[in-house]
């Protein structure tokens, strides 16, 4: 359900971040800053909303720390994260978590591109893209998501959470996009 319903927004996010040339320091830094602005705010929101109750291994899944370390390795400023004042309900937590956990799958390919950079600093600042959660984390996440999704009453909130996460990433990706055309 989430994959089918979120397809158009997911494509917009992919297209926005697809314009970043991850082998160049300027673009890679901007990419990480955009992700920091979105991800750190969303992870904070999930934690304030009680994601630990839904995903007991949440602490091992979070990527705020490694993202901050990568920005520090690049001597780049960490942007202020998006601030989302409200709390999420259970369904919205699942929708946001789906976007964050699913983003790891694409990160593998992006990690390869950044790893081919001629810039050593870019090659050394890939902890975020290469972050590995506990073994079996994705199948375990999908199993829990499917169990939660068996309650159709959660579906509208799950979709709303997914939409929120994609919109936050889309806005951050557009805000931080380098003005210089990719080589």
CATH number of residue 62's parent domain: 1.20.910.10
Count Cβ neighbours within 10 Å for each residue of 18-51 and write b for 16 or more, e otherwise. Answer: eebbbbbbebbbbbbbbbbbbbbbbbbbbeebeb
Tell me if 182 is assigned to some domain: no
Residue 83 to residue 89: CA distance in whole angstroms? 17
Q: How many domains does the chain have?
A: 1
Tell me if 183 is assigned to some domain: no
pTM of the entire predicted model: 0.94
Tell me if 4 is assigned to some domain: no
Domain that holds residue 32: 9-176
Tell me if 119 is assigned to some domain: yes
- Per-residue tens of pLDDT for the chain, all 183 residues: 788 788 899 999 999 999 999 999 999 999 999 999 999 999 999 999 999 999 999 999 999 999 999 999 999 999 999 999 999 999 999 999 999 999 988 898 999 999 999 999 999 999 999 998 878 889 999 999 999 999 999 999 999 999 999 999 999 999 999 875 545
Tell me if 131 is assigned to some domain: yes
Q: Tokens for 79?
A: 């942007």
């Amino acid at each position: 359900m989430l994959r089918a319903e979120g397809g158009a927004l997911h494509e917009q996010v992919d297209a926005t971040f697809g314009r970043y040339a991850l082998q160049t320091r300027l673009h890679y830094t901007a990419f990480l800053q955009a992700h920091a602005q979105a991800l750190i705010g969303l992870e904070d929101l999930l934690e304030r909303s009680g994601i630990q109750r839904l995903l007991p291994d949440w602490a091992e899944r979070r990527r705020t720390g490694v993202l901050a370390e990568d920005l520090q390795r690049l001597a780049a400023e960490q942007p202020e994260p998006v601030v989302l004042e409200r709390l999420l309900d259970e369904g919205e937590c699942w929708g946001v978590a789906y976007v964050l956990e699913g983003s790891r799958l694409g990160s593998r390919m992006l990690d390869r591109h950044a790893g081919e950079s001629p810039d050593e600093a870019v090659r050394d600042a890939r902890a975020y893209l290469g972050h590995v959660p506990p073994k079996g984390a994705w199948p375990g996440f999908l199993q829990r998501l499917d169990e939660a999704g068996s309650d159709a009453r959660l579906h509208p909130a799950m979709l709303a959470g997914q939409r929120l996460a994609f919109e936050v990433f889309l806005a951050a990706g557009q805000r931080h996009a380098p003005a210089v055309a990719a080589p």
